Amino acid sequence: REFLLEVLDLRTWFETKKGLLSGKSQRIRAVDGVSFCLEQNQTLGLVGESGCGKTTLGRTLLGLEAASAGDVRFRGRPLLHLSRKQMDQMRRHLQVVFQDPVSSLNPRMNVMDIITEGLERFGMLEGTKQEHARRLLAEVGLDKAMIYRFPHEFSGGQRQRINIARAVSLRPDLVICDEAVSALDVSIQAQVINLLLNLQETHHLSYLFISHDLGVVSNIADQVAVMYLGRIVEIGATAQIIGEPCHPYTQMLIAALPVAGQKRAESAQVKGETPSPADPPPGCHFHPRCPKAIAVCRDTAPDQIRLRDRTVCCHLYA
Ligand code: SF4
């Protein structure tokens, strides 16, 4: 099987000062041995609480953070350690939509210039900028007549559509959506997800859809990867992971999903805080919060265990 994106044992570690006066440094293992594959025309949802490393993982794939170890292949070609020029060329195929639709759009540029900037840079303008801009706006469900307007004249949902138009303008293979709908109202979220699904069908796009919200991810992803303190603790097809979660952390996330018309039970909330990645608990990082922890969990890190329909990282399945 040919994969669009192959990530193998990827690590992104940071060295930071441990307090202003101590002079000592500490290592933060933001991404700590992550592996997964993504096929063309598929979506991998990456979920976990804030601080689990999912944004650092996306930024590493985009070349915005330096990987410490591991390998990433994009269409079979190595993606890490590219020169700036090589990475610039690669960015045509690898685009991103960030969470904040306000700060990611230049307030002094009109929409036409924003969404055709990449086409101009890569010499892909055939016909006029106006024609391209009108077509792209129509593709993301905005009025073609709006091409001369500025970002502040649009709502949050419309601004995210502009971001998406810019991301798909270059006809990329992969779009990394980093909390792309998190700042939007629930009804607007659903519209933007539908737009992403339509664009995927039309242009055979793949998405790495990063979100803290498993409910949102389940509406768009073919596969789900659950991250905890830099590691993927469970990965598999969305229906299997949501319908029958194996890892105790995934079970906790699913139990905490709101059910329409029902009040969440107190016991069903995600309990405890995520520990600091600078000082993760020994053994299984999840053991201080895990209701199913056994003695071995406190001092031995679990291996990745391949089950029939998923991979899970937990001693209960060894
Ligand atoms: Fe819980 Fe142990 Fe599994 Fe970690 S390895 S999730 S602590 S049961």
* Domain contains 119: no
Q: Give me the interface pTM, i.e. the ipTM.
A: 0.99
Query: Structure tokens of 210?
Result: 């990063």
> How many angstroms does the Cα of residue 119 sit away from the middle of ligand 1?
49
25-38: strand order across its sheet = 25-38, 5-17, 69-74, 77-78
pLDDT of 268 > 60? The answer is no
Return the structure tokens found at 146. 């709006």
Q: Which atom of ligand 1 lies closest to the CA of 285?
A: 4
- Counting atoms of ligand 1 from 1, which one is nearest the CA of 317? 3
Residue 155 falls within a domain, yes or no? Answer: no
4: pLDDT strictly greater than 60 = yes
| Centroid of chain to Cα 308 | 25
Instruction: Give me the percent of the chain exceeding a pLDDT of 70.
Output: 95
Q: Is residue 144 part of a domain?
A: no
3-state secondary structure the chain: CCCCEEEEEEEEEEEEECCCCCCCEEEEEEEEEEEEEECCCCEEEEECCCCCCHHHHHHHHCCCCCCCEEEEEECCEECCCCCHHHHHHHCCCEEEECCCCCCCCCCCCCHHHHHHHHHHHCCCCCCCHHHHHHHHHHHCCCCHHHHHCCHHHCCHHHHHHHHHHHHHCCCCCEEEEECCCCCCCHHHHHHHHHHHHHHHHHHCCEEEEEECCHHHHHCCCCEEEEEECCEEEEEEEHHHHHHCCCCHHHHHHHHCCCCCCCCCCHHHCCCCCCCCCCCCCCCCCCHHHCCCCCHHHHCCCCCCEECCCEEECCHHHC
Asked whether residue 177 is assigned to any structural domain, the reply reads: yes
Number of domains in the chain: 1
Residue with tokens 């999840």: 286
Give percent of the chain above pLDDT 90.
79
Q: Determine the distance separating the centroid of ligand 1 and the alpha carbon of 134, expressed in angstroms.
A: 53
Quick one: pLDDT at residue 278?
85
Residue 201 domain flag = yes
Q: How far is the CA of 255 from the centre of ligand 1 (A)?
A: 17
Instruction: Give just the sign of the alpha carbon dihedral 14, 97, 93, 129.
Output: negative
Q: Is 151 in the pocket of ligand 1 (CB under 6 A)?
A: no
Ligand 1 pocket, residue 98 CB under 6 Å: no
Q: What digits encode the pLDDT tens for the residues 10-48?
A: 999 998 877 666 677 888 999 999 999 999 999 999 999
Average pLDDT score over residue span 136-140: 97
Asked if residue 302 has its Cβ within 6 Å of ligand 1, the reply is yes
CA distances from 204 to 86, 126, 174, 220, 259 (A): 24, 22, 9, 14, 32
Ligand 1 in contact with 94 (CB < 6 A)?
A: no
> Which residue has the CA at smallest separation from atom 3 of ligand 1?
314
Q: What is the model's pLDDT at position 25?
A: 83
Does position 259 have pLDDT exceeding 90, yes or no? no
Per-residue pLDDT tens digits for 234-252? 999 999 999 999 999 999 9
d(CA 179, CA 60): 16
In whole angstroms, give the CA distance from residue 242 to residue 214. 9
Task: Tell me, yes or no, whether 133 lies in a domain.
Answer: no
Span 160-209, pLDDT tens digits: 999 999 999 999 999 999 999 998 999 999 999 999 999 999 999 999 99
pTM of the model: 0.93
Query: Is 229 near ligand 1, meaning CB less than 6 Å away?
Result: no
Whether 68 shows a pLDDT value over 90: the answer reads yes
Ligand 1 centroid vs 285 CA: distance in angstroms?
8
Q: Would the CB of 283 count as within 6 Å of ligand 1?
A: no
- Across the chain, mean pLDDT equals 92
Residue 295 resides in a domain = yes
In this predicted model, what pLDDT tens digit does every residue of 295-317 receive, in sequence order?
Answer: 999 999 999 999 999 999 999 99
Atom of ligand 1 nearest to the CA of 284: 4
Structure tokens at 95: 């685009």
Whether 47 contacts 250, CB under 8 Å: no
Range of the domain at 203: 5-93+170-317
Question: Do 234 and 312 form a contact (C-beta atoms < 8 A)?
Answer: yes
What does residue 298 show for φ and ψ, rounded to 5 degrees?
A: -75, -25
Pocket lining: 252 vs ligand 1, CB cutoff 6 Å = no
Q: How many whole angstroms from 68 Cα to the centroid of ligand 1?
A: 27
226 lines ligand 1 (CB under 6 A): no
The CATH number given to whatever domain includes residue 33 is 3.40.50.300
Query: Using a 6 Å cutoff on CB, does residue 293 contact ligand 1?
Result: yes
In a domain, 182, yes or no: yes
Q: Give exposure, 8-24, as e/b (b: 16+ Cβ within 10 Å).
A: eebbbbbeeeeeeeeee
